[in-house]
Chain A
Amino acid sequence: MLQGLLDYFTTTGFALLTWKMLVMWVIAGVLLWLAIAKGFEPLLLVPIAFGALIANLPTRGVITAEMQPNGVYESATFKIEGQVLEPAPGTVPVAGEPVTQVVKVTRVEGGLYDFISQGIKLELFPPLIFLGVGALTDFGPLIAMPRTLFLGAAAQLGLFVTFMGAGLLGFTAKQAASIGIIGGADGPTAIFLTNKLAPELLGAVAVAAYSYMSLVPLIQPPIMRLLTTHKERRIRMKSLRSVSKLEKLIFAVAVMIICILLVPDASALIAMLMFGNFLRECAVTERLVKASQNEIINVLTIFLGTSVGITMAAESFLAPETLKIIVLGVIAFGFSTAGGVLMAKVMNVMSPNNPVNPLIGSAGVSAVPMAARVSHNEGQKYDSGNYLLMHAMGPNVAGVIGTAVAAGYFLSTLGH
């Protein structure tokens, strides 16, 4: 009887626990604490942390994952059993040409997240989240003050600087690009790019990106203060003009065409972003807009967050590379912030009669709308009557476009 009990024990999960799993429980606990107690990006950190917890339990029927001989930790694979029907009905084999065969699938076997995670592997979730982001975003401030586009462009500096830094630390070019994109502060884009270029880093990159996005109010202000004078922080900008509905519709179509023509690899992201925005601005698809803004983005956020978290298995996450990614991520963020602020100062030199407050430059990183709020709050510290929020939304949404374009550049140069 005792032997039977011992034999049964070997079938339980206790026998499969490792110390690395326990360390990951602590990391998941810290992420949950940041999200729940501190309110840092709870909509994403809670699913990611919970997914990480699941990934580090000896589960069955949730996800299939194993370390490959080449050192790549492969997850979310499922088995398909089938019968090859040969020759395929209605086809005549021709010498020298590939033979078409029909496979009759008899059984598909896999865990819950083997299937749900296909949303990331097949690049479905990030573009669909962008649909919701587009439906939630008002590009009016950007259209009213288009020169803030250059702030959004300059705030991509961190991506490219970090690319070089990651290369110096031994990462491959594809991995370096995936790490650099953290500086864009755009979670879906970071996941989109990393999944294509360096899927082995997906968990670490996603956690770093979302953690730093939630820490924008702590990371950015010191850099903003360092690079601006007291006088510059008090600059009041001219009120924005109102933007017509037709202008907003033209904007959505024009941005989509220009970006896709320049960087076709960013098509999925840009097309969905602008489609969502077009739905919003055309004002005749209210039900679709509401679905995009709520149900679609909420459901996908749950699946995306948990799918990312579930890649954080101890075997792949507890590696020196993760620590390097965390450090490189904050460097990317810092340079992106500095790039936006410095570009604003350059614009003021070139156009002294219509200056921009350099504090809005930092909003060029695309953590929407948190980065814009940080610019606004910093400005209010030095002039309580200075409302920078709407001005900062211009570079903020420009940053979303800029990061997607940068991701498209990395994909087109490294992804083929």
Chain B
Amino acid sequence: MHSLLITLSPRLLGALSEHPGLSESIPFQLTGLMVVFTALGLIWLVLTVVGQFFKRTAPAPVVPAPAVTAPVPVSAPDSLPPELIAVIAATVRVSLEGPYRIQAIVPVPAGQDWAHEGRRQIFASHQVR
């Protein structure tokens, strides 16, 4: 097997010259890129297969029963209770530690909770490198 590899690819396994020319280095680079793509491609394949399995076996999301009451309109800033506005203002004051002015309080669109939580985690994480 070892000798077969050398036969197939003399530039591998230390056979690349100390100062390779273009004819040597281009195949060397392409081979390297292919190795990287192969490794990550295999991981992609495994993740896709495993992901399909988990998607199928995951419990169905619980659909909340429709509300009996009349739909409530989205709260506009001027319709928010003053206690809630006070809490939001106090949170901004304490967490941002500076003189800030709240110009708008807008409900977060549905479906972005995951992105928000991720953003919070990343910004709070360590800067290690």
Q: Is B103 interfacial (CB 8 A cutoff)?
A: no
Q: Is A368 interfacial (CB 8 A cutoff)?
A: yes
Query: How many whole Å from B49's CB to the nearest CB in chain A?
Result: 10
Name the residue of chain B whose CB is nearest to the CB of A251.
B47
Chain B residues, CB < 8 A from A160: 29-30, 32-33
Q: How large is the interface on B (under 10, 10 to 19, 20 to 34, 35 or more residues)?
A: 35 or more
Q: Is A329 interfacial (CB 8 A cutoff)?
A: no
- B residues with a Cβ closer than 8 A to A are 11-14, 16-20, 22, 25-26, 28-33, 35-44, 46-48, 50-51, 54-55, 58, 109, 111-112, 114-116, 118-119, 121-123, 125-129
Q: Is the CB of B29 within 8 A of A387?
A: no
Query: How many whole Å from A193's CB to the nearest CB in chain B?
Result: 13
- A residues with a Cβ closer than 8 A to B are 41, 43-44, 129, 132-133, 136, 138, 141-144, 146-147, 149-150, 152-153, 156-157, 159-161, 163-164, 167, 170, 172-174, 186-188, 213, 239-242, 244, 246-247, 250-251, 254-255, 258-259, 262-263, 293, 297, 301, 367-370, 372-373, 376, 385, 387, 389-391, 393, 398, 401-402, 405-406, 409-410, 412-416
Chain B residues, CB < 8 A from A369: 122, 125, 127
Cross-chain pair count, CB within 8 angstroms: 175
Name the residue of chain A whose CB is nearest to the CB of B53.
A247
Query: How many whole Å from A368's CB to the nearest CB in chain B?
Result: 7
Chain A residues, CB < 8 A from B42: 258, 262
Chain B residues, CB < 8 A from A250: 50
Interchain CB contact (< 8 A) of A263 among B28, B35, B37, B47:
B35
Given the known inter-chain contacts A136-B126, A147-B44, A173-B16, please indicate yes or no for A413 contacting B37, CB distance below 8 A.
Answer: no
Q: Is the CB of B129 within 8 A of A213?
A: yes
Complexed CA–CA distance, A141 and B122 (Å): 12
Complexed CA–CA distance, A263 and B116 (Å): 37
Q: Is the CB of A413 within 8 A of B122?
A: no
Q: Is the CB of B125 within 8 A of A398?
A: no
Name the residue of chain B whose CB is nearest to the CB of A244.
B54
Q: Is the CB of A143 within 8 A of B128?
A: no
Name the residue of chain B whose CB is nearest to the CB of A398.
B40
Q: Is the CB of A146 within 8 A of B43?
A: yes
Name the residue of chain B whose CB is nearest to the CB of A146.
B47
Query: How many whole Å from B123's CB to the nearest CB in chain A?
Result: 8
Given the known inter-chain contacts A254-B46, A262-B42, A389-B119, please indicate yes or no for A244 contacting B128, CB distance below 8 A.
Answer: no
Q: Is the CB of A132 within 8 A of B114?
A: no
Q: Is the CB of A152 within 8 A of B47?
A: no
Query: How many whole Å from B93's CB to the nearest CB in chain A?
Result: 23
Q: List, sorted by A's number, 8 A–B pairs whose CB atoms are closer than 8 Å.
A: A143-B51, A149-B47, A167-B20, A173-B19, A258-B42, A391-B115, A393-B118, A412-B13
Complexed CA–CA distance, A141 and B20 (Å): 40
Q: Is the CB of A413 within 8 A of B127?
A: no
Query: How many whole Å from A127's CB to the nearest CB in chain B?
Result: 14
Chain B residues, CB < 8 A from A251: 47, 50
Given the known inter-chain contacts A160-B33, A393-B118, A401-B43, please indicate yes or no for A413 contacting B28, CB distance below 8 A.
Answer: yes
Q: Is the CB of A416 within 8 A of B47?
A: no
Question: Among B16, B19, B129, which residue has the most Cβ atoms of chain A within 10 A?
Answer: B129
Q: Is the CB of B18 within 8 A of A146?
A: no
Complexed CA–CA distance, A164 and B21 (Å): 9
- What are the 7 tightest A-B residue pairs by CB atom distance, in nearest-first order? A390-B118, A160-B29, A146-B47, A387-B115, A149-B40, A153-B40, A405-B39
Query: How many whole Å from A408's CB to the nearest CB in chain B?
Result: 8
Query: How many whole Å from A249's CB to the nearest CB in chain B?
Result: 11
Q: Is the CB of A367 within 8 A of B129?
A: yes
Name the residue of chain A whose CB is nearest to the CB of B115.
A387
Interchain CB contact (< 8 A) of A401 among B18, B40, B111, B119:
B40
Q: Is the CB of B126 within 8 A of A409?
A: no
